[in-house]
Amino acid sequence: MTWLITGGAGYIGAHVARAMTDTGEPVLALDDLSTGIPERLPADVPLVEGSTTDAGLLKRLLAEHEVTGVLHLAARKQVAESVAQPTRYYRENVGGLATLLEAVAEAGIERFVFSSSAAVYGDPGVDPITEDTPCAPVNPYGETKLAGEWLVRAAGRAHGISTVCLRYFNVAGAAAPELADTGVFNIVPMVFDRLTRDEAPRIFGDDHPTPDGTCVRDYIHVVDLAEAHLAAARRLDDRSGDLTVNIGRGEGVSVRELITVIGEVTGDRRPPVIEARRPGDAPRAVASADRAAEELGWTARRSVREMVESAWQGWLLHRGG
């Protein structure tokens, strides 16, 4: 059995590749290298450079490598960019998925894991967020992930493909410094970037209806997330049908609490600057993690401090600190 990981040279994809190969699962990576880094991949993982929009390439590699399951992580994922370039997001995230699923169905592959997002929920106003919470995404990125889930489930029913959709919450950390996220798009690297430039961290709004007035989020260590993909892949070996699962710790951490941990880890404890709320920021977004435990036998094991410590080591390596 060989698993294809699309987006396999990316931050999350490389961690998934490592989790799979560490347990003896043969893996093939596909990545267009727009953000992926080949050196992240284990040495024994073949890398094919290309896009999920390339039907001919997909057909060839699925056959040549005798792929029997797909972990689909390749996607554009920046909210602001999706607002500015919605057609690009729909073309690559939904169109690329459709092309991939057509190739998967033609090849007779029966296992498919889809990388989704908590962005499908929008601002649901419930705590905790369960998989049955109504979805109402508030940006094109979230819309493409929800449309992707619909497409995955529909293709699964039509072609006998067993599927799992994993709704990630906020991902941070690294298994090793060289695997760290090199982008500055999420809160942990954004705070690191401010501190490195000798600037105070920013908090957008301290008057939310939360215990300390700042937004509360559910953070998941990327290694735990990678292990969730492994658990999903193994579930598909044993059971058919479709499953949608939140991937989070089920615990809320406020922005102020997170910045305090970052200060302790980095040694830079300067107080944050309070700025106006950003439109669309939900006061609280925390997963119910019960279904993942019940259906996948998986629970997150790593703490927020471990996320910050490992991310900081990666930041120092990549930013030369």
pLDDT of 8 strictly over 80: yes
Give the per-residue pLDDT at 278.
Answer: 85
Structural domains present in the chain: 2-170+219-247 (3.40.50.720), 172-218+250-319 (3.90.25.10)
* Span 250-268, pLDDT tens digits: 999 999 999 999 999 999 9
Within 10 A of 43 (CB to CB), how many other CB atoms are there?
Answer: 6
Beta bridge partners of 168: 117, 247
pLDDT of 309 strictly over 60: yes
pLDDT of 319 strictly over 70: yes
pLDDT of 321 strictly over 70: no
* Span 60-78, pLDDT tens digits: 999 999 999 999 999 999 9
Measured between alpha carbons, how far is 155 from 133 in angstroms, rounded to an integer? 23
How does the average pLDDT of the chain come out, rounded?
96
Average pLDDT for residues 196-213, to the nearest whole number?
Answer: 96
Give the per-residue pLDDT at 35.
Answer: 93
pLDDT of 36 strictly over 80: yes
pLDDT of 7 strictly over 80: yes
Residue 77, both tokens = 């994922």
Query: Which residue is listed with tokens 């529909």?
Result: 154
Give the per-residue pLDDT at 239.
Answer: 82
Region for 125 from its dihedrals, namely left if φ exceeds 0, alpha if ψ lies in -120 to 50, beta otherwise: left
Q: What are phi and psi of 3, to 5 degrees?
A: -100, 130
Element spanning 93, H or E: none
For every residue of 233-245, which 3-state class applies, written as one string? HHHHHHCCCEEEE
Measured between alpha carbons, how far is 219 from 250 in angstroms, rounded to an integer? 9
pLDDT of 320 strictly over 80: no
- Percent of the chain beyond pLDDT 70? 99
- Told to judge if 141 belongs to the known catalytic residues of this protein, a careful annotator would answer yes
Higher pLDDT, 278 or 245: 245
Question: Considering 121, 141, 168, 219, which one is annotated as catalytic?
Answer: 141
Q: Return the amino acid letter for 63.
A: A
